[in-house]
Amino acid sequence: MSVQTADKYALLKNTQQELWDLSAEELEAVLRFIKALHSENDQGWYWSAEWQAMEEEADQDLADGDYEEFETVDDFIASL
């Protein structure tokens, strides 16, 4: 069931003071949560511009041979 515009307005009006009292960090967390709820695709993060840029960078690294392979996890950890 979708929330009607009037219901959204009433909810926002009723919570206005609570939102006003939040710190910047708390408000940011609330906004991230709302954005996640609003997302129609549970993998929407994958299609963000930031993530796609990282995907392109990884693809380019692979194409350029700019990576290392390790025989064991211990070898990988030792390389850090």
The C-alpha atoms of residue 19 and residue 13 are separated, in whole angstroms, by 10
Write the pLDDT tens digit of every residue in 4-54.
666 767 776 767 667 777 788 888 888 887 777 666 666 777 878 898 999
**pTM score over 0.85:** no
* Main-chain dihedrals φ then ψ at residue 22, nearest 5 degrees: -75, 150
Residue 12 to residues 6, 72, 79, Cα–Cα distance (Å): 10, 54, 52
